[in-house]
Structure formats: C-alpha cells, structure tokens
Amino acid sequence: MADDSVSGGAVSGGAVSTPTGTRATEPPRDVLGLVGSTPGEGAFDHHHPPKLDLVNDCVHCGFCLTTCPTYVLWGEEMDSPRGRIYQMKQGLEGEPLTDSMVEHFDRCLGCMACVTACPSGVQYDKLIEDTRQQVERRHSRSPRDRALRGAIFKLFPYPKRLRLLRGPLRAYQASGVQRLVAKTGLLKLMPTLGAMESLAPRLSKPERLAERVPAQGAKRAVVGMLTGCVQSAFFPDVNAATARILTAEGCEVVIPRTQGCCGALSVHNGREEEAQKFARALIDTFSDVGMDYFVVNAAGCGSSLKEYDRLLADDPAYAERATAFTAKVRDLSEILVELGPVAPRHPLPVTVAYHDACHLGHAQGVRAQPRALLRGIPGLELREIADAEICCGSAGIWNVLNPEPAQQLGERKARDVLATGAALLVTANPGCLMQVAASVRRLGADIGLAHTAHVLDASIRGLPVEDLL
C-alpha cells in the first residue's frame, strides 16, 4: 500500500496549498473511513447521488495519484481522485455543496486514468458522473461561467451549427488574418478565446457521404455509423476514411443524415436531461436501419454510447431499447479486429507513435485492437509514448474551460510524443488531435498527425505515406 503522506496535501492533516491559495485544514485520516448518511441531507439530493457503497470502495492507497493529471500538475490532495471521493463523502454526510467543493469536481478531466490504476476497482467514472449532474442542478455558477458554458452547449453538440463556422474559419486561416492576430498578442489576453483559436484544425473540403454505402465483396455485416459533431464539422475526412474502411472489409454502412449529437459532451459535464434527449433521438434515428453493429470513430462518443443503458435506465420507454443499442456499439478498431481483415494492406514505411485517447484506453479498455491494426500494416513501425496514461489535456471541453492547465498538459504530452522520434502521431479522437497539434505548434516543432482511420485507409488504398505526413 502506498504511503498516505503525499506532496502538496497529506491525508494525515495540515493546511493544503492549492493553485488558488491555502485552504482549510484537512481532517485526519481516520475521518475518511466514516460511513453512514442519508443522501439529500447535504450537498446532494435523492436523484442519483454518488453511491455511498462505491465511495467506500476507495481505501485511499494512492495508486491513482501519479496517473491523475491535476494531481500531477498541482500536487493537491483535493484535486486527486481520492480527494474528490473524500469530498463526495463529505457531501453525503451533510456538508453543503460549496464553491470550493465544486471547483475541485470541475477540475477533474474525467480521463479515467484512475480507474485503470486503481487496485480496488473503485468505479470513479460512475461517482464523478453522478456528482456532476448534482452540481449542474444544485450549484449556482458565476455569470461568466454560466455564459461560457451556455455558449458552448448551444454550439458544440449541434453539427449543423458547427458546420456554419467552416466558411468563416477557412477564410480566417487562408487570408492571413490568423497570422496577423497571432503577431498582435491579443489572444494571450483572452485565454479562452485563444485556446479555441489555437485548437481549430486546418480545414479541407468535406466529402459528402451517401446514406447507405454497399459492402465491397461478400457482405459480412450491416453497421450504423456515427458521424459526430466536431468530427463531422472539422474532421469529415475521418468519417469518409471510416466508411471506406468498413466497406472494404465487407460492411454495408448506414449513415442517416438526420442523426445528431450522441450526448457525450452533455453527459460528461453533468447535463443529464440534455444528454438523455440526444440519446433518445439517436436511438430513434437508427432503430429501423437493420444494423448488426453501431460503429464509432471518436473515443469520447464511444464511451458514452456504451453507457446508454445506464443513462436511460429510469426511462420506461427507452431503457430496454438503450440496452439493446449499447450492446451493438463498437469502436472502429474493435469491429475491425472482431470481424478480421479481408482487405489487403499495402506497405506504409513510417514510424508511428500511438496515443491512447483516454476515453478509448481508460474508459473503454480498448488498447490492444488499434495497436494490432497498426502492426498489421507492412513497413509500419509502432513506438510507445512515455507516461501514456497521462491525459493530453483535451478532455472534451476541459481545455476550453481551463486553458492554462490544459496547455501545460498538452505541452507535456507533445514533448513525450516528439521524444519517440516518430514521424507520425496516431490517435482515435478529434479532441486529442486538436490538442496535440496545437501543443506541437507552440513548441515550434513539427510532426504528422492522423486518426487511426487515416492510416488504415491509406494502407488499404495503397496511398503514398506522404499523404499522411
């Protein structure tokens, strides 16, 4: 068992220094073992509070500390998973939902590295999700925070609204205005706007996908395909590559144009009713397409889709349908390994650093499949990244809400990626691609960046490796 005394905030007591100053003295270690309280008396009401039995699974061993991005940044106990669990217990035992408590919950990236690291099997993913929906319903945020979050959720979960930004963004990037703005230094005075500007990818002309794409050769499966929000607006080439791969591997691909957001951003930020609305709509959209599987190429979306059964468990009209839908969800790499390859792979002589997107590796446990697919490409050399378990700082909208610490995490990840000496970074999440690309640029370095689908598509089609770089 790890030592309970950790730098930046020992569990044994004492004043704790935080990124915003010194907080009140911590309670002694034995207080962490208290049990028994009625949800609804303190910080939480009776609608799905964090469960006390899951809270009590945490034995405060500290194995999570070195994998938690915020603890790595600040060394602050209350910004570690076990510290946040302790605060959940405080809330269950009658403590009010204070600004300080909410701040520590908000600082969690939701990367779930602690779930992977925990030897006791603590279900922190469920605890933080239940806590966040309590926060969103019961805590009054500052006007600025409400305005920022409101703007984000009026835009990001809506593909059509995001696509309206493509024209102005392409003009901004191509006209030279972007370079001019960078020289003025104005964006450094507005961290949130600066973060969004730096994350925006270079845009290319989108490829329009048919609503039903026939399989090549013998049909092996019918798959529904999520096009996503950010993915469809800013990375439509990933969706096009995904459809080509699936059809080359004998899948008939169904891509309804009426599909909307899967609700991942909403559920990860405690907006439960909004997430449920999106989930019901997506289930309805794909209910009659006759699919065997539902394929996802964005890690954050996939982790939420695989939990529709939990999200809609209280809905008598959708609970059973959500369970059936969840059973069909597969990440692109999962379905390709599950079916086995039939399309020939052409050589790609390139060194690749593979980055585990947190919601693919930690939340879904999908690590071996993308590596197996990449190693199956002749000429490709796969290299591992140091401290792979540490999040890149993207975490959905966390890098927009917390631009400065996100930049620190991004640059840490970028340095580890560049240290591999690989020519190409490959990952399976649009947020990670944007975050690492921005971080590499800030370091004045250069590396090719691609989604797993880009690499597989290039190999199947026999494209030159230069197309990826």
DSSP secondary structure letters along 433-451: HHHHHHHHHHTT---EEEE
Residue 457 to residues 215, 230, 251, 396, 429, Cα–Cα distance (Å): 15, 20, 14, 26, 16
Rounded Cα distance, 81 and 67, in Å: 10
- Which pLDDT tens digit goes with each residue over 272-303? 999 999 999 999 999 999 999 999 999 999 99
Residue 266 has pLDDT above 50, yes or no: yes
Chain region(s) in the chain for CATH 3.40.50.1860:
212-337
Residues 152-156 have a mean pLDDT of 94
Looking at residue 196, what is its pLDDT?
Answer: 67
Is residue 261 within 8 Å of residue 289, measured between CB atoms?
no
Looking at residue 31, what is its pLDDT?
Answer: 33
Is residue 191 within 8 Å of residue 403, measured between CB atoms?
yes
* Other Cβ atoms within 10 Å of 51 Cβ, number: 16
Worst-scoring range by mean pLDDT, 19-23, 396-400, 434-438?
19-23
Residue 87 to residues 42, 82, 245, Cα–Cα distance (Å): 11, 9, 46
Q: Is 195 exposed, middle or buried, given 0-12, 13-18 or 19+ CB atoms closer than 10 A? A: buried
Residue 14 has pLDDT above 50, yes or no: no
CATH topology of domain 212-337: Rossmann fold (3.40.50)
Residue 1 has pLDDT above 80, yes or no: no
pTM for this entry: 0.87
Looking at residue 76, what is its pLDDT?
Answer: 96
Residues 204-222 have a mean pLDDT of 92
Rounded Cα distance, 252 and 379, in Å: 29
User: Which of the four pLDDT bands, split at 50, 70 and 90, describes residue 190?
Assistant: low
Rounded Cα distance, 67 and 73, in Å: 11
Tokens of 390: 């540490």
User: Which of the four pLDDT bands, split at 50, 70 and 90, describes residue 109?
Assistant: very high
Q: What is the mean pLDDT of the chain?
A: 89
**In sequence order, what are the beta bridge partners of 331?**
296
Answer yes or no: CATH 1.10.3430 is held by domain 14-138: no
Selected from 3.40.50.11810, 1.10.10.1590, 3.40.630.40, 3.40.50.720, the CATH number assigned to the domain covering 345-467 reads: 3.40.50.11810
| Radius of gyration (C-alpha) of the chain in whole angstroms | 22
Looking at residue 170, what is its pLDDT?
Answer: 74
Rounded Cα distance, 449 and 418, in Å: 12
DSSP secondary structure letters along 193-257: HHHHHHHPPPP-PPPPPPSEEPPSSS--EEEEE---SHHHHH-HHHHHHHHHHHHHTTEEEE--T
Chain region(s) in the chain for CATH 1.10.1060:
14-138
Residue 22 has pLDDT above 60, yes or no: no
